[in-house]
Amino acid sequence: MLTLRLTAEPAETIDADTLLLPVDGQRPALGGGAARAIRASLSALPSGERLEELRLVDDELAALRLSPHDAGIIVGVGRWEHLLVSAAYPHNAADRIHSPEACASMMRTALPRALTVAATGRPLHLDGRPTDQTVRIARVALTLIGTAYRVSLRRSVAALVGGLVEARDAGVGLDVVWSLPMEGALDAAREEARRAGLTRS
């Protein structure tokens, strides 16, 4: 059974097995709320160690190539043992421009697939290649996606709630803790999640 907890706490304070890291599958790179959480989780380290940890994540992401909407698991940093990388958010390039509607659609489609990967298991990737170690995850920390770039708060919340509903209806067994520190985000998510039957309050 999928369970959802909404919180205004920043993602780096959430006790979870993994953080969902949304990326452009063809050009994976750190960015957005998940990247801020990763950097915050490393803030206690000396500057040199912090930069080295971030470089390792960048290297793993650069080696990982995901099809649209696919997901993979890489070694984590900070408080997370693993990072759940989801091809959930495309970036504009010279030959492709994505509308807010297209971005929201991709987020909604990719999220249940990523949660399925987390719950059912996927080989850990190192240097872009699967290993013999299969990782299964019980609790995922989730952030808002796209609001710092092109997608409105309401559209992002609606898309992610839609993805959570699809995962629930597919029988994905996972605890999701959704970090919503942005002003107005917690109330918007509560309303949308309650309407969708994901929460009672």
Beta strand 139-142 with 174-179: parallel, antiparallel or unpaired? parallel
pLDDT digits 0-9 by tens, 32-49? 788 889 999 999 899 999
CA angle 180, 182, 184 (to 5 degrees): 90
What pLDDT is attached to residue 65? Answer: 80
pLDDT class of 71 with cuts at 50, 70, 90? very high
| Strand (E) or helix (H) holding 38 | helix 32-41
pLDDT at residue 185, rounded to an integer: 95
Please state the pTM of the whole predicted model: 0.91
Q: Is 59 helix (H, G, I), strand (E, B) or coil?
A: helix
| Residues 6+ positions from 139 with CB-CB distance below 8 Å | 15, 16, 17, 18, 174, 175, 176, 177
Residue 183: how many CB atoms within 10 A of its CB? 9
How is domain 2-195 classified at the CATH fold level?
Leucine Aminopeptidase, subunit E; domain 1 (3.40.220)
Q: What integer is the mean pLDDT of 136-160?
A: 89
